[in-house]
Structure formats: C-alpha cells, structure tokens
C-alpha cells in the first residue's frame, strides 16, 4: 500500500499515522433516504479502512496490518507488546482489534486486546465523534479508560497502541495517560492508519 507517513505529537513517546483518509469529498446532494451524499476519493489506506469498517470487508485486515508492519513497525524501538485502541462503538467484531492482532502475529509480539478498557462502551454519551474541539473531547474522555492488569509476567515493556483514525488525538492521549500508570509499561508508541 502506498503511504504518506506523518509524525504525530502527544503524550506518547513517538507516534505516526500512515496517510490522510480522504483526498477529496464533494457534496452531491441527498440520497433517496434524505441523507447527505458525497463523491469521495480516498487514499489507498483510507479506502481499505473504509471497506473494512463500513462495508464489513474483513479481507482488508491483512493488508492493513501488513502496511503497518512494513511501513510503521520498524520506526519503533523494541516493541514488547501491542494494544488496540478500545472501541467506542459496540460491534460483533472490532476492526482495530483484528488489525492489532494481525500485526502482532506478523511482528511475533503478544497482543493484549483486553488490557485497555473503555468504561463507556455502549453508553449513550460515550462517543466523542460528535464533539468538535479537542478540549471538549478531553473533558468527555476523562476517566473513560482503565487498565485491566492482564500481564502476569514481571517486567516493563514498550507498548505499541494501534488506532484506525487520528483526528485531534484526544482519545489516544486519554488512553496513553491511562497506560502510563500501568507498571508493565515503559515507552508508549502509537500508530494510526489514517488522519482526518
């Protein structure tokens, strides 16, 4: 997959995002159900992520994980384990979790998908997607995450947190703040597939 990697700053030690999500999006009117319709051209990574999340094309998990493994993973030093960003929407199957597990398999590292928990999963006001400023999102996300201490082995490792779409970074910063308090975490690295 073609990428345009960008470094992102936050309360993590180092982070990157693979590419912009959309190249352009033009409003074309309302569809037959009255919803806004757009003519959207996405980047290669953006299209694969769109197909996975919104068209349930689970065949995109492998290529997206491979893209992260080839393009992003070598940028991080001595990753000890991988963690998916906790979902904000209940789904029978979570795209970010599947991508993180596939990446972990390629990198021969453990993936702890039950380590970082979103306490508001499924709550009516849980989504920060409808908030517009980073300050609003930070306030809404305060205390939304906790660590489930599933690592029984003694030690302290560098963690790689995987997310799908990076916007303000508020969710990722809230998750990283929680991870900082876990005594099994040394450095925190983050990688997102696309930015808005």
Task: Find tokens 């893209």 and name the residue.
Answer: 67
CATH code of the region 6-20+41-195 = 3.40.50
* Interval 152-189: pLDDT, tens: 999 999 999 999 999 889 889 999 999 999 999 999 99
Residue 124 confidence (pLDDT):
44
- 55: phi > 0 → left, psi -120 to 50 → alpha, else beta; which? alpha
Positions of E strands within the chain: 6-7, 14-20, 22-30, 36-42, 79-84, 116-118, 145-147, 157-166, 185-195
Residue 64 confidence (pLDDT):
98
Structure tokens at 159: 């963690």
**Which pTM value belongs to this model?**
0.88
């Amino acid at each position: 997959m073609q990428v345009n990697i960008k470094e992102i700053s936050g309360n993590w030690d180092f982070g990157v995002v693979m590419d912009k999500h959309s190249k352009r999006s033009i409003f074309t009117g309302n569809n037959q159900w009255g919803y806004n319709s757009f003519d959207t051209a996405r980047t290669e990574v953006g299209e694969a992520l769109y197909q996975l999340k919104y068209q349930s094309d689970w065949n995109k998990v492998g290529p997206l994980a491979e893209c992260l493994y080839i393009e992003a993973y070598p940028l991080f030093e001595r990753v000890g384990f991988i963690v998916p960003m906790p979902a904000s929407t209940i789904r029978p199957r979570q795209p970010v979790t599947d991508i993180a597990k596939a990446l972990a398999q390629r990198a021969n590292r453990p993936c702890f998908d039950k380590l970082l928990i979103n306490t508001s999963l499924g709550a009516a006001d849980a989504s920060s997607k409808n908030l517009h400023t980073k300050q609003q999102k930070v306030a809404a996300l305060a205390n939304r995450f906790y660590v489930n201490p599933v690592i029984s082995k003694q030690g302290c490792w560098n963690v790689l947190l995987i997310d799908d779409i990076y916007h303000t970074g508020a969710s990722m910063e809230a998750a990283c703040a929680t991870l900082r308090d876990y005594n099994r975490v040394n450095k925190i690295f983050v990688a997102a597939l696309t930015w808005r």
